[in-house]
Structure 1
């Protein structure tokens, strides 16, 4: 299915021109993938206007040239941003800054190496959020694949294939980031979260202060691509654990500062769990033995009379 041209898109939107939704896309050296990503956006069939904000982070391949090609064909829809110096390497949380630049009431997020498969995705998600003010985010399923084929389908398993309470969102409940559509409420990060690499779980946590999450099973799964250039998917297991642990610790510090003691304690437990997961089974046994030894010695000291 070919993407619609700009005239057809605008004809479907009628007289309205102010975007109700902003698609935010981050790209870096995605020349082999970005065309499929952008076409997935432009296949969306909606009765409301949307804009596509594409941020190229100083790619060294032809990613920027492909974005320019699409921007020339869709000048009223696609809003490109080209960096001269790579922002990610400088620790700049540019994805969150793009939310502040987005004109839409809603944000849909998808990076330049992933793509959507359902042309009705955005209409279904926005319709739900328009009707249900107590929900702040909607999401659906995805499948993970690489150059050899499907790695895991569905991406969301078990208890995550359902709605999320506001509290569960605040606890950084996992979801497939390329599937989300949420209210445009996060325009900047608290200082504690600056420098966090796994930013998406921080967004969900901050959004949880505003409402619940809805899992929409009727939307076809999106495509999450694992490849050598992937920031998270191709990291080693130990590196992913360390990145998540840093995010949890940063969230703990944030909630401690604003006086949310229960959330502070929750994330500190997550930090401890991730720390245990990052060490070998033998080291775990040795650590537990040391803890048991210390507890036993303290108990003996209490039981023995003073000499």
Structure 2
């Protein structure tokens, strides 16, 4: 699809430039991929203005130069941010901070190594959210691919291919992050969640306090690229579990502080399961035996006074 000029896009928007939606794109050493991502944003066919906030996290390749070229051609749409020191390595939650800098009522998220395939994606998602105030987020499917071709399609399977209740969102229900469009309501993180690397789990949980999630099957799947530079996808399995466990533990601490005991216990159970998955089979048996002994002792302590009185 041929790219329209910035002027042509603005004319389609009736001359308006104040964004209803902000696309947030994080890039790091994505020189081979960033053009495809940016062009998939600019090919969106909407009747409303949008902006693209693209954040280069101190890339050491030519990513920043490529972003600058597109920003020069679309200065009222593409809003670049260039870091001189890598924020991810510092543990800075810069992606969430970009939501606060966004001018849009809605946020769509896609990292610089992924891209969208459906030019009507944003229009469909915004139309739904405008008409359904009880929903806070929309999402659709994606396919995973690498340099050799598609390796998983669809990405969402089974019960994940349906709407999410508010509670399911608060429980960190898995979503395909590059497909989401949500209300711009999470602009800072609670202190417990600072330093979490798998932030999307936290976003969905916080958004669940405001409404439900809508799975939009009619939108063509987005493209999730698996490559050596991928922050999460190319991590060893053990490392991915540890990252998720840290997110769940941080969420447990947050919900404990605000007095939501049900979610506090839910996330502690997730942490417990992830801990078990990281240890050897023999250690699992020993751990479960210790837990069973502790439970038995606690029950005996509770029952002993009652037995003595009977």
TM-score (ref. length: structure 1):
0.95
Determine the structure 1 residue equivalent to 2:157. Answer: 157
Are positions 1:67 and 2:67 aligned together? yes
Alpha-carbon offset, residue 206 of structure 1: 0.4
CA change 1:44–1:288 in 2 (3 A) is same
How far, CA to CA, are the matches of 1:197 and 1:159 in structure 2? 26
1:113-124 aligned within 5 A: 113-124=113-124
Determine the structure 1 residue equivalent to 2:239. Answer: 239
Determine the structure 2 residue equivalent to 1:32. Answer: 32
How far, CA to CA, are the matches of 2:129 and 2:298 in structure 1? 56
Determine the structure 2 residue equivalent to 1:259. Answer: 259
How far, CA to CA, are the matches of 1:60 and 1:300 in structure 2? 61
CA change 1:18–1:297 in 2 (3 A) is closer
Are positions 1:281 and 2:296 aligned together? no
How far, CA to CA, are the matches of 2:300 and 2:93 in structure 1? 51
Q: Deviations over 1:144-187 (max 9, x none)?
A: 11111111111111111000011111111000000000000011
Determine the structure 2 residue equivalent to 1:184. Answer: 184
Q: Does the aligned pair in 1 maintain the 2:6–2:77 contact within 8 Å?
A: yes
Q: Does the aligned pair in 1 maintain the 2:17–2:76 contact within 8 Å?
A: no
Q: Which runs of 5+ in 2 are unaligned?
A: 305-310
Determine the structure 1 residue equivalent to 2:209. Answer: 209
Q: Does the aligned pair in 2 maintain the 1:3–1:40 contact within 8 Å?
A: no
How far, CA to CA, are the matches of 1:116 and 1:50 in structure 2? 15
How far, CA to CA, are the matches of 2:253 and 2:300 in structure 1? 36
In terms of mean alpha carbon deviation, does 128-137 or 5-14 score higher? 5-14
1:1-307 aligned within 5 A: 1-292=1-292
How far, CA to CA, are the matches of 1:208 and 1:21 in structure 2? 20
Two-structure CA RMSD over aligned residues (Å): 1.9
CA change 1:297–1:21 in 2 (3 A) is closer
